[in-house]
Amino acid sequence: MATLRETPKHMMTRLFLAAGLSAGGLISADPTAAENILLAHPQPTDHIYHRLSEAFIENLAETTGGKYTVNYHPGGDLGGFDALYEQVMEGVIPMAFTSPDSTLDPRLDVSRCL
């Protein structure tokens, strides 16, 4: 749980680290080996996703002492929103900035909740 002294930067790092660790079973057999986390999003590098990703990568390195590194794919290198979402659901990509895709599962159509 976040404390009042934690900055949004620290909370974001903890959130992404927790998501990454739970998403891909990222615990290494060799405790000294650095883990490489894949992070992708479909937006160009002038988008807020890019700045958030870069801040996460920097904070992750500082927070973990280099235990985790990030293989970063901005700008849709690995696909658009739908493709990234599907790859995350299949476990191919552990982390992505995307949104629920109601074409894959109608229950994810958040517009129906309004």
Domain that holds residue 53: 34-113
The Cβ of residue 28 has, within 10 Å, a number of other Cβ atoms equal to 13
φ, ψ (nearest 5 deg) of residue 76: 80, 20
pTM confidence score: 0.61
pLDDT in tens, 98-107: 776 677 777 7
pLDDT in tens, 33-61: 778 999 999 999 999 999 999 999 999 99
DSSP readout, 54-113?
HHHHHHHHHHHTTSEEEEEE-TTTT--HHHHHHHHHHTS-SEE-----TTT-GGG-GGGG
Task: Give a yes or no: residue 42 inside a domain.
Answer: yes
Task: Give a yes or no: residue 4 inside a domain.
Answer: no
Tell me how many domains the chain contains: 1
Task: Give a yes or no: residue 17 inside a domain.
Answer: no
Task: Give a yes or no: residue 29 inside a domain.
Answer: no
Q: Which SS3 state, helix, strand or coil, does residue 22 take? A: helix
Task: Give a yes or no: residue 87 inside a domain.
Answer: yes
pLDDT in tens, 56-101: 999 999 999 999 999 999 999 999 988 898 898 899 988 888 776 6
Task: Give a yes or no: residue 13 inside a domain.
Answer: no
**Whole-number average pLDDT of the chain:** 77
Task: Give a yes or no: residue 40 inside a domain.
Answer: yes
